[in-house]
């Protein structure tokens, strides 16, 4: 309760300070004087003539700028304070940038509200407009978050990947050096709801479990149906890569992640989870290259063979 009260007091002070600064710049005369002060002023008489102001108008606005902490008196004249310089660079120059691009920004506003264009298409159009502003980037306009989070714990990564699988609506591409039950279950659920899954397995431990699966299938024939659906369904592509360098995942071509591996021990070091179509395209190219070098998954071969056994109705 006390902390919330302190935060409210701090915010109120901030709003008052901001109000004082903006009020000091609200008059056209003040803007002219503030702009002229960027290089320092030695002769106020000269500036008064240059700006076409009366002495009273000049000194009235100058006093307000000094009270707001934006301008200070020196031995040689007047100049911006450190605060004044910061305000000039961020607010004053920024507004000039925005106004210089007003027509283009109006067009972009219409563009961003369109549901017919993808983020990448919008980005290409904005880049073609060639807006030169220091206030914001194209990523800011598109609300693109290049990196959502950096994860340095494997259990946290598993949870994040499971959540990404749950969010996927159309397609999942995943190349993994690990087999985690939690994520596998989420992927199976995604397959059942019609999501296409492209899987490159890099977990060598799965090769040693092949005989165990065969025994399970023959002891429990219904398990063959689950195995077949998991590896031979119309929405599933499963391959095996014997020396997968690291894990990566792409979801709906818009968000994904990749693993950074310790080059000495080959163990998990950390992972980056992001939301960016361009990064996804680069990862997608890498995934395609890995997929070309990968072989048909042993489990898929097994599932296809089981289909031919008459005793098991699939």
pLDDT in tens, 29-73: 998 999 898 888 888 899 899 999 999 999 999 999 999 899 999
| 312 pLDDT more than 60 | no
Domain residue ranges in the chain: 2-100, 102-142, 146-307
Is residue 279 very low, low, confident or very high in pLDDT (cuts 50, 70, 90)? confident
pLDDT in tens, 66-93: 998 999 998 889 999 998 888 888 777 7
Residues sharing a CB contact under 8 Å with residue 24, sequence separation 6 or more, in sequence order: 30, 64, 65, 67, 68, 70
| 296 pLDDT more than 70 | yes
| 206 pLDDT more than 70 | no
pLDDT in tens, 105-160: 777 777 777 777 776 677 777 777 766 665 555 555 555 545 567 898 999 999 99
User: Which pLDDT score is estimated for 116?
Assistant: 76
Instruction: Give the phi and the psi of residue 258 in degrees, each rounded to 5.
Output: -150, 155
CATH class, range 146-307: alpha beta
Architecture of domain 2-100: Orthogonal Bundle (1.10)
Q: Which residues of 244-278 are buried (b: 16+ CB within 10 A; e: fewer)?
A: bebbbbbbbbbbbbbbebeeeeeebeebbbbbbbe
Q: Is the pTM of this model over 0.75?
A: no
User: Which pLDDT score is estimated for 268?
Assistant: 92
Beta strands in the chain (DSSP E): 71-73, 78-80, 145-151, 171-176, 196-201, 236-240, 248-251, 255-261, 268-275, 295-296
């Amino acid at each position: 309760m006390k902390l919330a009260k302190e935060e409210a007091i701090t915010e109120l002070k901030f709003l008052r300070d901001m109000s004082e600064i903006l009020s000091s710049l609200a008059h056209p005369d003040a803007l002219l004087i503030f702009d002229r002060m960027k290089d320092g002023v030695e002769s106020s008489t000269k500036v008064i003539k240059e700006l076409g102001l009366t002495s009273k108008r000049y000194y009235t606005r100058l006093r307000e700028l000094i009270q707001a902490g934006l301008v200070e008196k020196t031995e040689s004249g007047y100049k911006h304070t450190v605060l004044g310089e910061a305000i000039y660079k961020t607010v004053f120059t920024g507004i000039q940038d925005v106004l210089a691009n007003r027509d283009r920004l109006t067009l972009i506003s219409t563009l961003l509200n369109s549901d017919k264009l993808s983020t990448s298409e919008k980005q290409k159009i904005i880049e073609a407009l060639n807006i030169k502003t220091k206030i914001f980037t194209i990523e800011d306009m598109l609300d693109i978050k290049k990196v959502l989070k950096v994860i340095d714990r494997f259990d946290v990564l598993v949870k994040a990947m499971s959540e990404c699988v749950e969010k996927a609506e159309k397609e999942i591409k995943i190349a993994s050096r690990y087999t985690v039950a939690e994520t596998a279950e989420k992927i199976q659920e995604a397959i059942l709801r019609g999501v296409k899954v492209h899987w490159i397995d890099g977990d060598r431990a799965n090769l040693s479990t092949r005989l165990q699966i065969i025994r399970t299938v023959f002891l429990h024939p219904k398990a063959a149906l689950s195995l077949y659906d998991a590896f031979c369904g119309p929405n599933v592509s499963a391959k095996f890569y014997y020396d997968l360098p690291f894990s990566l995942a792409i979801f709906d071509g818009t968000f994904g992640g990749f693993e950074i591996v310790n080059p000495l021990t080959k163990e998990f070091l950390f992972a980056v989870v992001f939301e960016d179509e361009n990064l996804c395209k680069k990862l997608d190219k890498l995934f395609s290259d890995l997929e070309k070098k990968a072989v048909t998954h042993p489990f898929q071969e097994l599932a296809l063979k089981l289909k031919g056994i008459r005793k098991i109705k699939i």
